[in-house]
Structure 1
Amino acid sequence: MSAIDGLPPLREVIATHGLVAKKSLGQNFLLDLNLTAKIARQAGDLSACDVLEVGPGPGGLTRGLLAEGARRVLAVEKDARAMSALAEISEAYPGRLEVLNADALEIDPLAHLTPPIRIVANLPYNVGTELLTRWLTPPTWPPAWSSLTLMFQKEVAERIVAKPKSKAYGRLAILSQWRTDARIVMELPPEAFTPPPKIRSAVVHLTALPEPRYPANAATLQRVTATAFQQRRKMLRASLKGLAPGIEALLESVDIKPTARAEEIDLEHFCALARALDAA
């Protein structure tokens, strides 16, 4: 698809503005505007929402979000080279696109937005998991955003939606599924990108729950899962022994076998263990 808005095709934009993808910034540009519009649609009705996009690059997804009716888009882009290309999009959509030339890890972009807020991004590979973790661990819940629609390496996407007793199951699954409904909504092959990465990509849609799925203190739950999955092949009585005296009795009190391993324990039981630790 060459255009969805009267602006030039993305290959032309990249050539005009000298936007060669930089590996150091985790950049792989998605140039098919059919695909960027499809990703935007996965986020649902955007007409009454402000949208945060991180890492817009030449603006393919930005254009998809605006064409799909987003009330307003805040695009946070670290690469100053992309500013002129994004300025052209801003001119085509007066008053609906604000661009910040900043590192998303160093600012609070949500302070620039008005709820309801959705976050939609083809995240740079090198900061994707870090940003997701931050969005899932705000000081209070529910968060400022109502949903996340994010593209990751397929391997990371599978870790987000993984179930117990699978290789991909770990801390990211616990963190994501404790407070959101998470599902993979799209897969993309390497050839969809310029330059093509060596791996497949996937889009994950996470909807914030009004409250966590099971009660637990967030810091305790993170400590328990970090300790358990750090040595995932060890039995829990060994991997968690540093957390509290009498860990075997605590495990048994919440119906977890001390000989079980981290990947066998579901979210509900990890939350129960976190509560037991706090009570002890």
Structure 2
Amino acid sequence: MLICRSVADCRAAIADVRAKGQIIGMVPTMGFLHEGHMRLVATAQDNADAVVVSIFVNPSQFGDASDLDAYPRNEARDLAMLKDAGVALVFMPDVETMYPAGDETIVETTRMANMLHGLVRPGHFRGVATVVTRLFNIVTPDVAAFGEKDYQQLQIIKRMVADLHMPLTIIGAPTVREADGLAMSSRNVRLSPQDRAAASVISRALTAAETAASGATVDDLHGLISDTISTEPRASLKGLDIVEAETLNAIDGPLQGPTAIMISVAFGDILLIDQRVVTP
């Protein structure tokens, strides 16, 4: 497994892979890997000959500097996991590499980035789109895998790739969950034991909504999810959106087709997100 920290070294390694006629898959991450990330690696491996994983804690998608500082990191553990998984190359740039002096270019989906969860974390998706575009330009993958847990992010990346005519395919991978249903996330380790136990209320709320989806209205599901979250005093519902699954357009009344339910819940200062796509 090669480890590259500069753009030049990464591009040289990619050129060697291209010379062999291999299809390149990519999994962009911020590190502190867990089983959810490894499922993304497996998904990319199923669709490519060689997989590149990037590890970069992207400052432009954090609105709060303290949240950025607190983001967990474990480089040695991450590299061991990726080596065991058979990853071909790991790209680990520093901030100065990704955002060089004088940098002023951003990438943004103007509608999708400024709605739904984007209202909870202003500027977050602009930071995501900008760094992912830069990573794609460096690695030039043929396919890239993203998790469905970050559902709005997945749809934004798909829209960005289509709008900018990027020559790659985006693949969404199902959410990987803990035994109690909590979606795996690098943020979970920051939860206190009490908040970690309480956090399972998120998946309970989504499961209740999925069960009730047939014949339900948007208002019905809003009420059901809000009521379920309110049974857990440690949980604070920050965002709840029920929208068309592909476009993220708002809907009203009874569900008519594939519908995305996206939820943001805070436990203290830790914000967790989850989603479920339901069909009535």
Q: TM-score range by the shorter chain?
A: 0.3 to 0.5
TM-score scaled to structure 1, two decimals? 0.33
Which structure has more RCO (C-alpha within 8 Å, separation ≥ 6)? 2
In terms of Rg, which structure is larger? 1
